[in-house]
A and B are shown apart, each in its own frame.
Chain A
Amino acid sequence: MTLPPFQYLVDAHWRDVCRLAHALAGPVDGDDVAQQAWTQALAAYPRLRSSTNLRGWLLTITSHCAMDVHRSRARRPVPVQDIIAIGEVAGRSQEKGPDADRPDEVLWSHVADLPERQRHAVVLKYVVDLDHLGIAKTLGTTPGMSRRLVSDALATLRLATSKDELT
């Protein structure tokens, strides 16, 4: 098994890592989380045993870095200004940077209020288009539980946004 040059991973996935980091950690910590994820990935890379699914490996590291940052700070939901709205994103993660679309601060403040595992699951699903097996691996759970986390998150977000519209 031979690993490709690390630069190939950076070129192919830096936008996704950046988007995921910003979606999970907000505009204040997003850059730090992305930078930490790349530093950790570079350090661990030569010991990696498989070169299949390098994208999933990078997104998992990014997700874990976001959890670490989150735990190391007092919980403070920050509206994410530079992430495109959840409903619009599937399939477009390759072409556009996180700042390319309109912000949806209200929705993202609700995302920030979700329980951590729901938040990570729904972001992994819709911001970087990971499948349930990939989400399950990242969160250390089963694909069935990943489905449930995502559907619970969506239900909460629907309810929260419909309340917003009523008020």
Chain B
Amino acid sequence: MTEHTVAARLTAFSLPAMPPELPISDVSYVVDDTSVGRMLLARSESGALIASAFVPDSDTEDFWLRRLARQVSPRVLRLPRALDLARHELDAYLGGRRKEFDLPTALVLATPFQRIVLGHLSAAVAYGHRTTYGALANDIERPKAARAVGAALGANPLCIIVPCHRVVASSGALTGYAGGLAAKEYLLALEAHT
């Protein structure tokens, strides 16, 4: 028996009693194991991606789900099929087959200042390039705000999609990353080689 058949039969397994099938609601999410770690993806009812976060353990996952319930809507449902587009694009990016994300996004979990920083980062720093906290602060005409810029990047609710991993210290050192420094290194190496 091929592995594929086994997998298909495992997928087809059904209980006599099944959980309810609910429609796409205010917030739909999925948690996926990726090559850079366990990630939570969430979208709004309109289809915009609103969260892409590293959730290494269930406490972090719980933190994000409660945050979505509080800041967006308590109608938060686990609906993997609603995240198909985001999973597909993320998978292609991590496999080196995609350099830009086309899916709709919304920074509803970000503050106005975070939106300015993250918006500029997405628009100005392309695949395979890097910038520094200071340069980013200059770009948004807040030259003294390098630390605030660092904090805004640290709060990025759309990790990888909004490429905060492309921002390094002025010394060139990789500083902190929500997904861990190994993930940041992995992403920069991926972009350097494809």
Interface residues of A (CB under 8 A from B): 2-8, 10-11, 14-15, 17-19, 34-35, 38-39, 42, 45-46, 82, 97-99
Contact A7 B76 (CB under 8 A): yes
What residue in chain B is nearest A34 (Cβ atoms)? B20
What residue in chain B is nearest A8 (Cβ atoms)? B65
A82 to B16, CA, bound (A): 10
Stretch at the interface among B3-11, B66-74, B96-104, B159-167: B66-74
Known: A10-B77, A82-B16. A4 touches B69 (CB 8 A): yes
Q: Which residues of A contact B21 (CB under 8 A)?
A: 35
Interface residues of B (CB under 8 A from A): 15-17, 19-22, 25, 27, 29, 65-66, 68-70, 73-78
B41 vs chain A, min Cβ distance (A): 14
Of B15, B17, B20, B69, the contact of A5 (CB 8 Å cutoff): B69
A22 to B136, CA, bound (A): 60
Chain A interface mostly: helix
Q: Which residues of A contact B75 (CB under 8 A)?
A: 6, 42, 45-46
The contact sample of 20 A-B pairs, CB cut-off 8 A, is A3-B69, A5-B68, A5-B76, A6-B74, A6-B77, A7-B29, A7-B76, A7-B78, A8-B65, A10-B19, A10-B20, A15-B17, A19-B17, A34-B20, A38-B22, A39-B20, A39-B22, A45-B75, A99-B15, A99-B16
Of A4, A10, A98, the contact of B74 (CB 8 Å cutoff): A4
**Which 7 residue pairs across A and B have the least CB separation, nearest first?**
A5-B76, A99-B16, A38-B20, A3-B74, A97-B17, A5-B65, A5-B69
B82 vs chain A, min Cβ distance (A): 12
Q: A3-B69, A5-B66, A14-B19 are in contact. List 12 more A-B contacts (CB 8 A).
A: A4-B66, A5-B27, A5-B77, A6-B25, A7-B65, A7-B76, A7-B77, A10-B19, A34-B20, A97-B16, A97-B17, A98-B16
Contact B22 A18 (CB under 8 A): no
A101 to B189, CA, bound (A): 55
B15 vs chain A, min Cβ distance (A): 6
Known: A2-B70, A46-B73. A35 touches B65 (CB 8 A): no
A39 to B66, CA, bound (A): 21
A45 to B75, CA, bound (A): 7
A163 vs chain B, min Cβ distance (A): 32
Q: Which residues of B contact A45 (CB under 8 A)?
A: 74-75
Of B15, B20, B70, the contact of A35 (CB 8 Å cutoff): B20
Contact B17 A46 (CB under 8 A): no
B66 vs chain A, min Cβ distance (A): 7
Q: Which residues of A contact B25 (CB under 8 A)?
A: 6, 42
What residue in chain A is nearest B75 (Cβ atoms)? A6
Listed residue (B19, B65, B70) with the most chain A CB atoms within 10 angstroms of its CB: B19
